[in-house]
Amino acid sequence: MRHKQGLILVNLGTPQSPTPEGVKAFLRPFLSDGRVVDLAPWLWRPLLELVILPRRSPRVARNYAPIWTPDGSPLLAIGRRQQAGIKARLLQADIDLPVCLAMTYGEPSLATAWQQLKEQGVEEICLLPLYPQYSSTTMAPVLDTWARVMRREKNVPALHLVRDYHLAPGYIAALANRVRQHWQQNGQGDCLLISFHGIPVRYAKEGDPYPAQCQATANALAQELGLAAEQWRLSFQSRFGKEPWLEPYTDETLLQLPASGVRRLDVICPGFAADCLETLEEIAEEGKAAFLSAGGAAYHYIPALNDQPEHLDLLAQLASQALGIGKPFAS
């Protein structure tokens, strides 16, 4: 007899309010995670509490305010739509699978999601972190948190993990179609910048496969779009601290491209399954200002896959395959 199954979509997390207090409550556990910042706690914690949180929280809160929605932060609002859309697709395929949304940091938590599924008699779980590329800074904390949630469970559910999907055909096709739709509406730029969140170079040297997976995704997307080598670039954004991070840096690339003849630039961030502060503010707004100030003429951020039908089809497919109930999904 098959156990009752359930699906948990997992994203990083978000503040509960666009206020310094709300941001601080989110950033504290996030930046305290040794997977994210692996400095010695005796050195890092005082710096975090006395310098970084007091300075960073008000600034981040100000950035959140213009993009906040009636349903909360963009990440949460889009996540809820993804949850509902995947549930609907599964039902259309005659798969009655409970679907929950959870965050590694903040609410709704993995503990809350598990409790909801446990009350429905679920004994077999698919964890689907919304990170196409694996990183020790994103995927690994999901498993760490899940292990803490399971610590006192007497009947630990069977677990199926979607570790990454950086080259899944449906993922690459959805990204390519997102770009083509943008080109149809706005025209094609001189260059497509494919930007991913960065990590310290040291993490990669210690075995994190993230940069190789980002490169593979970028190569596959460029190939799917038929782009020549001079028509696209790969870069890494959001570096933090003084140690070297993956290069080339997105912020520096944006300042350099106009001098190399790129007047019209399109930017996509394939590592984000849902738009959030980092894409909507750092890339769409700050990035645009930097590129135009350096002499660029036109700058377009291409939104994340969010709740696009092809994306929901892909996520439903990944979950059903992981649980051994794979069926084709197509809008």
Task: Kindly state whether residue 329 falls inside one of the protein's structural domains.
Answer: no
Position 315, amino acid: L
Q: Tell me, yes or no, whether 67 and 129 share the same domain.
A: yes
Q: Is the pLDDT of residue 1 over 80?
A: no
Position 15, amino acid: P
> What pLDDT does residue 331 have?
54
Q: Cβ neighbours of residue 216 under 8 Å, at least 6 residues apart?
A: 166, 167
Query: What is the strand order of the sheet 232-237 is part of?
Result: 232-237, 191-197, 264-268, 298-302
Is 278 one of the annotated binding-site residues?
yes
Cβ neighbour number for residue 65 with a 10 Å cutoff? 10
> What pLDDT does residue 214 have?
98
Q: Tell me, yes or no, whether 291 and 266 share the same domain.
A: yes
Q: Tell me, yes or no, whether 15 and 75 share the same domain.
A: yes
Tokens 């809008």 sit on residue:
331
CA dist., res. 134 & res. 164, Å (int): 5
> What pLDDT does residue 242 have?
83
Domain count, the chain: 2
| Per-residue model confidence as pLDDT tens digits over 295-312 | 999 999 999 999 999 999
Confidence of residue 241 (pLDDT cuts 50, 70, 90): confident
What pTM value is reported for the model? 0.95
CA dist., res. 181 & res. 103, Å (int): 30
For residues 116 and 312, the answer to whether their CB atoms sit within 8 Å is no
Task: Kindly state whether residue 180 falls inside one of the protein's structural domains.
Answer: yes
- The range of the structural domain enclosing residue 249 comes to 169-302
Q: Is the pLDDT of residue 327 over 80?
A: no
Higher pLDDT, 1 or 268: 268
Q: Tell me, yes or no, whether 265 and 151 share the same domain.
A: no
> What pLDDT does residue 172 have?
98
Task: Kindly state whether residue 330 falls inside one of the protein's structural domains.
Answer: no
Q: What is the mean pLDDT of residues 22-30?
A: 95
Task: Kindly state whether residue 34 falls inside one of the protein's structural domains.
Answer: yes
Q: What is the mean pLDDT of the chain?
A: 95
Task: Kindly state whether residue 315 falls inside one of the protein's structural domains.
Answer: yes
Q: Tell me, yes or no, whether 173 and 294 share the same domain.
A: yes
CATH number of the domain encompassing residue 106: 3.40.50.1400
Task: Kindly state whether residue 88 falls inside one of the protein's structural domains.
Answer: yes
> What pLDDT does residue 121 have?
95
| Per-residue model confidence as pLDDT tens digits over 140-155 | 999 999 999 999 999 9
Confidence of residue 330 (pLDDT cuts 50, 70, 90): low
Q: Tell me, yes or no, whether 293 and 213 share the same domain.
A: yes
Percent of the chain with pLDDT over 90: 92
Q: Is the pLDDT of residue 284 over 70?
A: yes
Q: Tell me, yes or no, whether 51 and 161 share the same domain.
A: yes
Q: Is the pLDDT of residue 124 over 70?
A: yes
Q: The dihedral of CA 30, 33, 35, 37: what is its sign?
A: positive
Q: Tell me, yes or no, whether 282 and 206 share the same domain.
A: yes
For residues 7 and 97, the answer to whether their CB atoms sit within 8 Å is yes
End-to-end CA distance of the chain: 31
Task: Kindly state whether residue 331 falls inside one of the protein's structural domains.
Answer: no
For residues 142 and 128, the answer to whether their CB atoms sit within 8 Å is no
Q: Is the pLDDT of residue 246 over 70?
A: yes
> What pLDDT does residue 3 have?
83
CA dist., res. 308 & res. 173, Å (int): 12
> What pLDDT does residue 328 have?
64
Q: Are strands 191-197 and 124-129 parallel, antiparallel or unpaired?
A: unpaired
Q: Tell me, yes or no, whether 139 and 199 share the same domain.
A: no
Q: Tell me, yes or no, whether 13 and 154 share the same domain.
A: yes
Q: Tell me, yes or no, whether 68 and 119 share the same domain.
A: yes
Q: Tell me, yes or no, whether 207 and 289 share the same domain.
A: yes
| Per-residue model confidence as pLDDT tens digits over 43-94 | 999 999 999 999 999 999 999 999 999 999 999 999 999 999 999 999 999 9
Q: Cβ neighbours of residue 114 under 8 Å, at least 6 residues apart?
A: 8, 125, 149
